[in-house]
Amino acid sequence: MDLAARLRAAIPAEQVLDDPAVVESYLQDHAEWAEFSRAAVVVRPRDTAQVRAVVELAAQLRVPVVPRGAGTGLSGGANAIEGCVVISFEAMNRVLEIDPVERLAVVQPGVVNDDLRTACAALGLWYPPDPASAPWSTIGGNVATNAGGLCCVKYGVTRDYVLALEVVTGRADVVRLGHRTAKGVAGYDLCGLMVGSEGTLGVITEITVRLLPGRPAERTIAGYFDSVVAAGEAVRAVSASGVVPSALELVDRHCLEAVDAWKNMGLSTEANVVLLGRVDTPGEDEARTVLACFENAGATWAAVSSDEQEAEALFDARRLAYPALERLGPVLTEDVCVPKALVPEMLARIEKTAAEHDTLIANIAHAGDGNLHPLLITPIGDEDAKRRAQAAFEDIIADAIELGGTVTGEHGVGLLKRGGLRRELSPAVLELHRAVKAALDPWNILNPGKIFT
């Protein structure tokens, strides 16, 4: 009996897909360049028991299991492994509970981030983690990659909101990790260990997240700068001022030009670098402080936006940067994170790298926490350009490590950053990773080969 037939004996047959044309659409995430192989089969479980049955069979047969949310990942973490079972969570997409007093929500892994946020907002509550993929990406994927976003400069990343998880382990046990209470230190933080483990330590089947009261009103401060050095000085000044912005985004000249070429917004004629800050503490003080930081750092223009629509228009330029650049060719998104004060230095090095390898590299950055997204664009089908971009990619990773940074701030290691991880972590730390992996997944069936080999 082949794998699909065995799976159809274990869970309802219609949830097991092995039509090659269907399986084809589950083989990769959004990571440019990341390899992927042929999955044997895709399953779409409806509940935890079905996930457990799949993992149990996979464990018996020593077949790799690749959990998959919406496939919006940027490192190849959800890419198929030869002969694997892809577990797609699209049919486990229910918000199970929202409790306004305990301020928590319980969701299935396939719930789309924005759907959870909308459901919370209807009750005057807020789930902060806001990756740029929020309209499509799922909470399960967000947890597996410990996704960041725009507001994490003030409100933290996904890990900071995960209270508890239900997980199917590598031994096909269903376990509950973490706690529903506001605090809890009973035993090791295995819940936290699962967050960001990219499906290699367990398959997440239910997620309990902490919520905040409804999002406070924000003010937007925009600044135009001639140079990344001036913009970087503004970022440093904001950090030193004691204001913690609820967003502090940087958009560079290449992005502005691409957006202008597409939408004709006229941004690139006015600025080389745009900084967009948001603040949300009641009162005018924070906005005034950020504005002064921008002006003192040499902004050629800076203002506090007086209305929400105007502010949204400014953030549109940030949001449009990625699709605008994609019009020029496939975009490989980098994700290094460096100490905040070194953002200008890192941007300068990226500029040098772009020139050295004759590669177009645009930059958007969560500047407030030093998380840069260099975007490497290569014309379709230009293999030589791709080789040059690959070399640039490696240089960016090396520079980030040299500056005391990390190879991945929020996208995860997946396949693309495995080499970077080996450079960033010491052999002893990699050995600890292997020991933990072997302890929790003794048959090496859970997304094997991701993060490290």
Interacting positions 58-117 with a second copy (CB under 8 A) = 100-103
- The residue among 237, 270, 234, 275 whose CA lies nearest residue 366 is 275
3 binds a second copy (CB under 8 A): no
Per-residue interface string for the shown chain with a second copy, residues 288-307, x marking contact by CB under 8 A: --------------------
426 binds a second copy (CB under 8 A): yes
Tell the smallest beta-carbon distance from residue 438 to a second copy (Å): 7
- Contacts of a second copy in 128-147 (CB under 8 A): 145-146
Tell the smallest beta-carbon distance from residue 71 to a second copy (Å): 18
440 binds a second copy (CB under 8 A): yes
37 binds a second copy (CB under 8 A): no
Nearer to a second copy among residue 153 and residue 302 (C-beta): 153
438 binds a second copy (CB under 8 A): yes
Nearer to a second copy among residue 20 and residue 283 (C-beta): 283
For the chain, how far is it from start to end, CA to CA, in angstroms? 30
Of the candidate residues 67, 109, 110, 196, the single one contacting a second copy (CB under 8 A): 196
412 binds a second copy (CB under 8 A): yes
Tell the smallest beta-carbon distance from residue 29 to a second copy (Å): 15
Give 184's contacts (C-beta < 8 A, 6+ positions apart). 178
Nearer to a second copy among residue 236 and residue 357 (C-beta): 236
Nearer to a second copy among residue 37 and residue 281 (C-beta): 281
416 binds a second copy (CB under 8 A): no
439 binds a second copy (CB under 8 A): yes
Of the candidate residues 37, 46, 90, 192, the single one contacting a second copy (CB under 8 A): 192
Cα-based distances in Å from 401 to 31, 340, 425: 21, 14, 10
402 binds a second copy (CB under 8 A): no
Per-residue interface string for the shown chain with a second copy, residues 302-341, x marking contact by CB under 8 A: -----------------------------------xxxxx
- Contacts of a second copy in 143-172 (CB under 8 A): 145-146, 148, 152-153, 156-157, 159-160, 169, 171
- Contacts of a second copy in 219-278 (CB under 8 A): 236, 239-240, 242-244
